[in-house]
Every structure is written in C-alpha cells, then in structure tokens.
Amino acid sequence: MPATTADTLSMVTRTVSVAPLVLLSVADHYGRSAKGTRRRVVGVLLGQNDGRNVRVSNSFAVPFEEDDKDPSVWFLDHNFVESMNDMFKKINAREKLIGWYHSGPKLRAADLEINELFKRYTPNPLLVIIDVQPKEVGVPTDAYFAVEEIKDSHSLRDIGQYLQKVLDGDLPVKHAILGNLQDVFNLLPNLSTPKTNNSQVNGMEPSQIENTELARAMSIKTNDQLMAIYLSSLIRAITAFHDLIENKIQNRQQQEEQEAKKEDEKNGTTLNGNGNNNNNSQNFKAPANNNDSKQEQEDTKEKGKKG
C-alpha cells in the first residue's frame, strides 16, 4: 500500500535508541563470522515500538549468505528466526521482534527484499546499519524505515521533465503526446467561473457567482451528506423519545400495581379483624345458654318435689 504524507511524517518524528548491549553483540557477531572479509552479518532486533519511540534492547544473529557477484542472490534462514523468536518470547514477553540489522556499512540492493521477508513478523520492520569499522567518531548506527513511493509518481515526474524540456527547447514538440495530455486534462471538471446570463441572482452580481461543474458536484455531495446527518439525528431523537414514553408507561403501570397491592393487603387485614370479633361474641354467649338450661332443670326438680 503506498505511503501517505501522514505516514511519512510519523516516521520522521520517530526516535530510535539502541542499547549498548546490541552494539557489543553485533561487533561480536562480526568478529566471529566475517572478520577480515568483505561479507556482512545479519541479525534480528528485539525491543519495543510504541509508534513514536523505538527502543532496541536485544538482538540475536541469523545465518545469512549472499553472492558477492550477484546481489539478488541471498539466503536467510527464516526457520531459525522463528524458533529463536519463540524462545525469546518465553524468556521476556516485552521484547518483541521489531526489525533487523546488518553490518553495512551502507544500504545494498537486496535490503528491500530482506525487509519484505521480515514483514512476516512485524508490519513495519526497522533496519539498523551498524558499522563495525567506523571511520568517524560517534555511534556507528543508522536507522531506516521502508517507505513505499506513491503509485505512478515516477510517471508524473517523467511527464513534468518532458514538458519542461519541450518548453526549454531541448526536445521537439510532438503534437500526439500533447494531444494525449490534453485528453487527460479534459477529464477534469471545469474549474473556471463563467458569468451567468442574468444580471443578478439573489441580489448578487454575476462576477460573485461561481457556476462550475465542480461547485455543483461538491454542493450536491455536501447536501447529501448533510441530509444523511440530519436523518440520522432525527432517528436518534425519535428513538430516544420513544424510549422515554415507554419508560413513563412502565413506571405508571408499576406504580398502579403497587397501589393496588397495598389496597388489597389493607382490605384483607380489615376482614380478618371482623371475623375474630364475631367468634369472640359467640364464645361469650355460649356459657350464658348453659347456665339458663341448668336453672330450668333445677326449677323443674323443685316443682316435682312440691307435687
């Protein structure tokens, strides 16, 4: 995917810090593998990348070979990279594969292809060139991020250079090429601002009115977008109003149910109280009836004795 201006600016503002341990590891790697030769060594960088600050804290060497005569012929053991990366994840999960390094001292033709290989493990790999034989005082490191060129930009550049040479008189004019370019320009909307036939429109002078295809197209698109925003806002408002009404109805129903329940409980308590009073009165009258029957029996016995 072509890189945009924002992506390019974000890469410019990044800072890369390399730990001294990494420099020592690379120097040791070169001393063991390629000292006294013109070969370069390649390895993997581990660390953290938060988008703005890249911190390289560890590294490990990778088996790498390339043909000195043909730069496009090279070999990198990606199986070794995967196994070592898994092992380092178990040791320290914070250290992730963020890029790769080589001993330089400059960029080479195969670096882009090697960088594409490392995109299997990280989206935007970092390349750090560590010069093991520096000729200047300082830290011998250079950091790079790959930025893809915008599609067809080279074609536009070639066309611009051709037109400039024709304008300067270095190349002859070829009407066929100019005709093709004019056909391309004709595909663009009319960017001119012609005057209208009416003297005034809505109190505005003709010179103040922009009547172009681009303006109309932009106006139609803007109106469509504003209409979509208005409809979505209206739908949200209606939905919220509907939810409010539903909540009001539910609250009122719950309140009525609670009031009816309280009224039923109150009526049930009153009925139970009246039933208890009736039972007490009946129990109280029963002894009186027993006494009356005993008195009648005694009176009957006394009358029988007198007779």
Q: How would you label 113-147 residue by residue, b for 16+ Cβ within 10 Å and e otherwise?
A: ebbeebeebeebbbbbbbbbeeeeeeebbebbbbe
The three-class DSSP label of residue 100 is strand
Cβ-contact 65, 51 below 8 angstroms: no
Question: Cα separations (Å) of 96 from 5, 26, 187, 249?
Answer: 27, 18, 49, 57
- Stated pTM of the model: 0.47
**Closest to 127 in 3D by CA, of 258, 11, 280:** 11
Hey, what amino acid is at 141? T
pLDDT by residue for the chain (307 residues), tens digit each?
344 444 544 555 678 899 999 999 999 999 998 888 888 999 999 999 887 889 999 999 999 998 888 878 999 999 999 999 999 999 988 899 999 999 988 888 889 999 999 999 998 899 999 988 877 777 778 887 776 555 556 678 888 889 999 999 998 988 888 888 888 887 766 555 454 555 554 554 554 444 566 677 777 888 888 999 999 999 999 999 999 999 999 999 999 999 998 888 888 776 666 555 555 555 444 454 555 556 666 666 666 555 4
Taking the alpha carbons at both ends of the chain, their separation in whole angstroms is 138
pLDDT of residue 14: 77
Q: 5-145 in CATH: which number?
A: 3.40.140.10
What DSSP string runs through 122-166?
A: -SS-EEEEE-SS-SSSS--EEEEE--PPPTTHHHHHHHHHHHHHH
Task: Give me the residue label for tokens 């960029």.
Answer: 107
**Closest to 139 in 3D by CA, of 26, 233, 304:** 26
pLDDT of residue 107: 86
Where in the chain are the domains? 5-145, 153-186, 215-267
Cβ-contact 129, 106 below 8 angstroms: yes
Q: Which two tokens stand for residue 242?
A: 């509907």
The per-type count for the chain, helices as H runs and strands as E runs, is 7, 8
Strand partners for 54: 16, 49
CA distance 114 to 301: 136
Please give the backbone phi and psi of residue 67, each rounded to the nearest 5 degrees, phi first: -85, 125
Cβ-contact 16, 145 below 8 angstroms: no
